[in-house]
A and B are shown apart, each in its own frame.
Chain A
């Protein structure tokens, strides 16, 4: 079985936010909720880097550990999903997640928390694959269609990688070797193209 992973190559990410938009559109995410975001460190300074962040689908997910109703589960592909029928919108996963992945749509009086929404690795939820019930709650189930998450699929610079951990790390390793070959040009991805195989 595959072990699904995201990897964002900070040397390549250009903070275009296409992954954010793609995710929102593909999954028809509720208003005010962003499953993915791009954070830029040292914006406007030397060494500026951007990273696209969403649910990291942790092996030992803290959200799952603290959930009072135990609504999280990990699929055979290593994707961390949750059951919105069980979620009570308490917000504990939001406190527990280091990456700020869980999102809460405003719901009911006094803008209290609705049921939690987060990146599903485009793998839907516990409902039947590609059913309308699944789409309304969790968005597209691209994994069931044999596709990878749209954010990574349409990343223009291929900074955001998604897929089986082995393949993602193979791709990244090749990049590292190429960059390492041009040691004096660390951090430059597009020069010295002749050094690439």
Chain B
């Protein structure tokens, strides 16, 4: 008799108790979720996620250990690689081409506007000795090696865009391969001639008193009269130091790129490449100006690197202090004497004075 009553009572009790318990559990969970949300759910994380987080971190290259013995082989991902790729593909090729092209354009416009800078009163024919044979040969060796390196570098940088559509892959590969080998071969020759250039020209390229005036007057472009200059004027000195400093930077980075077997890692090589190519583009850009001024830009300049002699009127116009020095020391020779020295007379080629090129002071 008791049993049925008891059963009913339990059935009546189970439901509310269960509901209360459920409510309690839900409330408890919710309060947990509010206090410490990370404890909700499964809190044990995949240990692999730590690994991947470490591997995928962008700022540093992850170093591990490996049995493969070579440079950087223990680096799983080099985060600089993508940056370098983007630099070369997106920026260097486009901006480099625009810079080089626009400099040629600017020089052309300048030439059309200003024309060839003539010597006032014309050339006199009386000459003065300026550069030794050695200095001229050195100049041309450096210049030709520089041009060769610039052209081979240009081929490697822009060839894929410019030449492959014309030549096709196979022929361009030959061109690029010889460019690369030539670039590597003539690089050291550039370094040697650069060093010789530094030694033989450094004394005359130290900045002196009148150089600031030259700079302030834009090398004679501002104002009518010519600006003062010694053996080299401010512009020439700056070009010299640009060649020397950037030239050494290009040489050093070039050596890093040329010999991959000295244990330098990829990041160093990528940085070296960036410095190398920046320096090269600056030098090539300014060299356009140098070439223009040496040939078309000004009358009489090219003679100094052709024969070693310049017209005294040219010296007075561009290097007045040096011209004064030449006058004072009786270094000016007549047109007849000059013709004789150039092999048109009977006496063989022998400069009148070998001390003429020493100093403009």
Contact = CB atoms under 8 A, between A and B. Distances in A.
Interface of A: 10-11, 17, 20, 32, 34, 37-43, 47, 49, 51, 53, 62, 65-71, 83, 85-92, 94-100, 104, 106, 110-113, 179, 183-184, 186-187
A100 B66 contact: no
Contacts of A85: 170, 173
Given A10-B48, A106-B261, A96 B180 contact: no
Q: Which of A87, A97, A106 has the most CB of B within 10 A?
A: A97
Given A49-B48, A66-B89, A70-B160, A40 B66 contact: yes
B270 interface: yes
Contacts of B62: 41
B82 A98 contact: yes
A41 B51 contact: yes
A155 B257 CA distance: 37
Contacts of B88: 66, 92, 96
Nearest to B175: A69
A71 B160 CA distance: 10
Closest 7 CB pairs of A and B: A37-B68, A111-B261, A86-B173, A98-B81, A62-B85, A39-B64, A88-B177
B176 to A, nearest CB: 5
B67 interface: yes
A193 to B, nearest CB: 19
B233 interface: no
Contacts of A179: 46
B109 interface: no
Contacts of B45: 186
A137 to B, nearest CB: 14
B44 A184 contact: yes
Nearest to A33: B70
B180 A88 contact: yes
A151 to B, nearest CB: 14
A133 to B, nearest CB: 16
Contacts of B258: 110, 112
B305 interface: no
Contact of B73 (A34, A183, A184): A34
Given A34-B73, A40-B65, A186-B45, A89 B81 contact: no
Contact of B65 (A39, A62, A92): A39
A69 B176 contact: yes
B157 to A, nearest CB: 7
Nearest to A106: B261
A17 B73 CA distance: 14
A95 B266 contact: yes
A41 B55 contact: yes
Contact of B67 (A38, A69, A86, A106): A38
Contacts of A71: 169, 173
B260 interface: yes
Given A41-B76, A53-B76, A187-B46, A62 B82 contact: yes
Interface string B147-160: 00000000011011
Nearest to A50: B64
Contacts of A65: 85, 89
Nearest to B52: A10
A95 B273 contact: yes
Contacts of A86: 169-170, 173
Nearest to B74: A39
Given A88-B177, A95-B84, A37 B73 contact: yes
B78 A100 contact: yes
Contacts of A95: 81, 84-85, 266, 269-270, 273
Contacts of A53: 76
Contacts of B47: 47, 49, 186-187
Contacts of A94: 266, 269
A187 B48 contact: yes
A146 to B, nearest CB: 30
12 contacts: A47-B51, A49-B47, A53-B76, A68-B160, A71-B169, A71-B173, A86-B173, A95-B270, A95-B273, A98-B77, A99-B76, A100-B266
A7 B264 CA distance: 30
B40 to A, nearest CB: 14
Contacts of B160: 67-70
A161 to B, nearest CB: 15
